[in-house]
């Protein structure tokens, strides 16, 4: 397929692998965090890690929106459906993520709650239009990529006068999470996690641009290369990071120039700014409370805020005992470090969000059989 096959060419991959091996200095290590779960899956699907020298190590980050949503917020969504009788519309990945008391959205649906899988915000709007006597809540999750469609849905609902549509907003922000990781004791003090540079997210950057990464690249002296999702994108970005680290630079570079610009999508950013504002703090699974890392609906659009229309208690909840998802999301552990992985926890019986999501690190390890190779060695 044109414009895809070119980024999966075997000969070019081998050439890039030789260049990385030649330029990676044997006396030092290169610990590079791929923030985005899409990159994690590309790395394992195409065997990118196997083409790298041993001292170039990829660390998995928290860039999976389903994975980082804390259990308490899933509990709140279930409570809205069960206590207020709303029709809760959710993307498919969220349905099977474990909540408190061994519940999930899927199990709540089986118990009688009106919970429906949708492919887009437009699906939720259509349900609200066709069922004017039923309150419809869209369970909005995701990073900056999925925020503009939610803003569009709120604007459309206002224009159509839909009084039975609202949004349970859980949109989170990438730069704040990266800064939180770099400020964590595990990186700054304990040395548990070594991060020398970042593979910046692709789709997120198509919205926000490359400029937001400049602050922490300078402040924490860590280079960032925004990478596309194809294997050659990832390998070229790794080479760019190796070269920056060898030169002692900590710049923001953009490998994904065919999609990402410095300023991003200005129209989308203006729309998001019109509808949403920053929360003072928001809980992330694995990271805890992160200041100014999430969005909420502004007061002029409060009638579409499900948290105000259908108040439910937010109760602190803990992950399943033994589940290492929080540590995996921080880059402290790998899926194979979790005792539940591949035994109690499988895609058919997930114990944590990292095994459920199509972008989760545990799902990547399982899908592409990486744990089998480790067990055999």
Range 42-64 average pLDDT: 93
d(CA 352, CA 347): 10
Count of C-beta atoms within a 10 Å radius of residue 326: 23
Q: What band does 120 get if pLDDT is binned at 50, 70 and 90?
A: very high
d(CA 358, CA 361): 9
d(CA 96, CA 35): 23
**What are the tokens at 327?**
């540590």
Q: What band does 316 get if pLDDT is binned at 50, 70 and 90?
A: confident
| β-pairing verdict for 281-284 and 288-291 | antiparallel
Bigger pLDDT: 63 or 2? Answer: 63
pLDDT score for 3: 67
Tell me: pLDDT of 143 over 90: yes
CB–CB of 52/44 below 8 Å? no
| β-pairing verdict for 136-142 and 165-171 | parallel
CA angle 301/123/204 to nearest 5° reads: 70
CB–CB of 178/150 below 8 Å? no
pLDDT tens-digit series, residues 336-368: 999 999 999 998 899 999 999 888 999 999 998
Tell me: pLDDT of 73 over 70: yes
- To which residue do tokens 């579409």 refer? 304
When the candidates are 3.90.550.10, 2.30.40.10, 3.30.300.30, 3.40.50.11740, the CATH number that belongs to 28-320 is 3.40.50.11740
pLDDT tens-digit series, residues 226-254: 999 999 999 999 999 999 999 999 999 99
Tell me: pLDDT of 189 over 80: no
Bigger pLDDT: 319 or 76? Answer: 76
pTM for this one? 0.92
Domain spans of the chain, in order of start: 28-320, 324-369
Output the average pLDDT for the chain.
Answer: 93
Q: What SS3 string covers the chain?
A: CCCCHHHHCHHHHHHHHHHHHHHCCCCCCEEEEEEEHHHHHHHHHCCHHHHCCCCEEEEEEEECHHHHCCHHHHHHHHHHHHHCCCEEEECHHHHHCCCHHHCCHHHHHHCCCCEEECCCHHHHHHHHHHCCCCCEEEEEEECCCCHHHHHHHHHHHHHHCCCCEEEEEEEECHHHHHHHHHHCHHHHCCCCCCCCEEEECCHHHHHHCCHHHHHHHHHCCCCEEECCCCHHHHHHHHHHHHHHHHHCCCCEEECCCCCCCCCCCHHHHHHHHHHEEECCEEEECCCEEEECCEEEECHHHHHHEHHHHCCCCCCCCCCCCCCCHHHHHCCCCCHHHCCCECCCEECCECCCHHHHCCCCHHHHHHHCCHHHHHHHC
Residue 39: which of 193, 301, 234, 216 has the closest Cα?
A: 234
pLDDT score for 370: 65
Tell me: pLDDT of 377 over 50: no
Cα torsion angle, 350, 354, 357, 361, sign: negative
Count of C-beta atoms within a 10 Å radius of residue 248: 8
d(CA 237, CA 53): 15
| 144-148, 176-180, 290-294: least confidently modelled range | 176-180
Q: What band does 6 get if pLDDT is binned at 50, 70 and 90?
A: confident
pLDDT tens-digit series, residues 249-278: 999 999 999 999 999 999 999 999 999 999
d(CA 226, CA 220): 17
d(CA 87, CA 133): 11
């Amino acid at each position: 397929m044109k414009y895809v096959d070119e980024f999966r060419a075997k000969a070019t991959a081998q050439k890039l692998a030789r260049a990385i091996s030649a330029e990676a200095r044997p006396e030092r290590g290169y610990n590079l965090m791929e923030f985005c779960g899409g990159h994690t899956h590309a790395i394992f699907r195409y065997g990118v890690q196997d083409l790298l020298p041993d001292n170039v190590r990829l660390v998995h980050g928290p860039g999976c929106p389903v994975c980082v949503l804390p259990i308490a917020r899933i509990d709140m969504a279930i409570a809205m459906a069960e206590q207020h009788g709303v029709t809760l519309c959710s993307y498919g990945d969220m349905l099977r993520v474990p909540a408190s008391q061994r519940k999930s959205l899927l199990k709540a649906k089986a118990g009688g709650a009106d919970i429906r899988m949708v492919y887009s915000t437009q699906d939720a709007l259509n349900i609200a239009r066709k069922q004017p006597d039923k309150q419809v809540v869209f369970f909005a999750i995701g990073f900056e990529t999925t925020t503009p469609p939610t803003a569009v849905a709120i604007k459309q609902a206002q224009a159509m006068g839909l009084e039975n549509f609202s949004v349970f907003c859980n949109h989170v922000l990438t730069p704040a999470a990266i800064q939180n990781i770099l400020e964590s004791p595990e990186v700054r003090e304990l040395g548990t996690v070594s991060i020398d540079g970042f593979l910046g997210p692709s789709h997120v950057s198509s919205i926000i641009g490359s400029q937001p990464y400049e602050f922490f690249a300078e402040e924490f002296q860590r280079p960032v290369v925004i990478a596309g999702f194809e294997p050659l994108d990832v390998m070229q970005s790794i080479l760019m990071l190796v070269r920056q680290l060898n030169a002692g630079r900590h710049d923001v570079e953009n490998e994904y120039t065919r999609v990402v610009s410095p300023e991003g999508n200005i129209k989308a950013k203006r729309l998001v700014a019109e509808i949403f504002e920053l929360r003072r703090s928001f809980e992330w699974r694995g990271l805890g409370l992160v200041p100014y890392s999430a969005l909420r609906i502004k007061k002029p659009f409060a009638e579409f805020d499900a948290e105000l229309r259908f108040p439910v208690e937010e109760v602190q909840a803990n992950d399943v005992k033994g589940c290492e998802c929080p540590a995996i999301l921080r880059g402290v552990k790998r899926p194979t470090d979790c005792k539940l992985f591949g035994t109690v926890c499988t895609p058919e019986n997930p114990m944590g969000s990292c095994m459920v999501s199509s972008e989760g690190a545990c799902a990547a390890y399982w899908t592409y059989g990486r744990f089998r190779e480790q067990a055999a060695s």
